[in-house]
Amino acid sequence: MNKAKKGNMARLNRWGYIFLIPFIVVFIIFQLIPLVNTIYNSFFENYRSGLKQIGPNFIGLANYASLFTGGDLIQYFENTMIMWVLGFIPQIVISLLLSAWFTNPSLRLKGQRFFKTVIYLPNLIMTSAFAMLFFTLFADSGPINSMLMQAGILSEPYSFMSHVGSVRGLVAFMNCLMWFGNTTILLMAGMMGISADLYEAAEVDGATPTQIFFKITMPLLRPIFIYVMITSLIGGLQMFDVPQILTNGTGDPMRSSMTLIMYLNKHLYSKNYGMAGALSVMLLILTGVLSFIVFRVTASDQVKKVR
C-alpha cells in the first residue's frame, strides 16, 4: 500500500463511524439507559410492596451478598446448564447432520426444499401455544400415557410434571424441537457461501464424505459455527419461557428445573430492581466468561487446523 492510498483509506475509514451512527444512537436511547440503570440499581434496595415504593436506598453489595448466601444460585446455574446441554447436544448433532446431508452433493437428496422448509416451522408457534399442546399430550390421561399403558410399559399413568427427570427432559425436548431448525438454517446459510466447486473438486480427488465435512465444510463454516455456539450458550443461560410455562413458573419439582432467568423473574414480581440488577450483573459476568472460553477454544482450534 502506498502513501497516497493510505491517506485515502483514512478518509474512507471515517465512513466506519458514519455507518455506526444509527446503531449507537438507538442503542444509547433504548438499551444503554436501561442497562446502566440495571447496574446502578444492583447497589440499592429498590422494590415495590403492593403499590408502595421501597427505596431506592443505597446498600452497597448487600444484594450480591444475599444472592450468594442463599446458595441457590449454584443450583439454578446447574439446572440451567443441565437442561441446556440435554437439549443442545441433540440439537447441534441433528443440525450438523442435516446440513451435512443437504450440502453433500453425492447424496443428491430429493425433496430437499421441502425438508429444509419444514424443519424451521416449529419455531413459528408461540411458546405458550406450544406448551398448551404439550400439556395435553403429556397429561396423566393424555395420549402418551395411554399409549405407554396399552403397550404394557406402564401399569398406571406416569406424572410427567411430577418427576425431576421427565420435567427436565421435556424442557430439553421442547427447546430442541423449537430451535434445531433455527440452528440448521444458520448452518446452511453459512454453507451456502461455500462454493460447490470445492465439493466437486474434493469428490474428484476421492475424498470421503467424512473428509469433505471435516476438511472443507467445517473450516469454512467456522465463523458461523462459533456464532451458533455462542448464541446458543447465551440463549441457554437465558433459558426462560419453556421451563417457565411448562412448570407454571415454579421450576418444580423442588426447583430442579428453575433456571437463572426464572429466578430473576421471581424478583420482578415485586419490581425488585435491586436483586434483579445484581442477578443480571452476575449473569453478565458469567456469560462473558463462558463466551470467552468458547471463543478461545474454537479460535485456537482454528490456528491448529490452518497449520
Residues 188-207 touching another protein, rule: CB under 8 A, are 188-196, 198, 203, 206-207
Site track 26-65 with another protein (rule: CB under 8 A), x = hit:
xx--xx-xxx-xx--------xxxxxx-x-----------
**Residue choice 61, 65, 89, 126 for contact with another protein (CB under 8 A):** 126
**Residue choice 165, 208, 297, 299 for contact with another protein (CB under 8 A):** 208
Asked if 131 touches another protein (CB under 8 A), the answer is yes
Asked if 81 touches another protein (CB under 8 A), the answer is no
Residue carrying the nine cell digits 465512513: 15
Asked if 77 touches another protein (CB under 8 A), the answer is no
Minimum distance of another protein from residue 155's CB (angstroms): 13
The string of DSSP letters for 245-278 reads: HHTTTS--STTTT--HHHHHHHHHHTT-HHHHHH
31: exposed, middle or buried (Cβ count in 10 Å: 0-12, 13-18, 19+): exposed
Q: Under a CB-based contact definition with an 8 Å cutoff, are residues 221 and 194 in contact?
A: yes
**Residue choice 61, 74, 118, 297 for contact with another protein (CB under 8 A):** 118
Secondary structure (H, E, C), 92-148: HHHHHHHHHHHHCCCCCCCCHHHHHHHCCHHHHCCHHHHHHHHHHHCCCCCHHHHHH
The 10 Å Cβ neighbour count of residue 39 is 13
Size of the site for another protein (CB under 8 A): 146
Minimum CB distance to another protein smaller for 140 or for 301: 140
Minimum CB distance to another protein smaller for 45 or for 307: 45
Q: Under a CB-based contact definition with an 8 Å cutoff, are residues 212 and 199 in contact?
A: yes
Residues 159-178 touching another protein, rule: CB under 8 A, are 159, 162-164, 177
Minimum distance of another protein from residue 13's CB (angstroms): 5
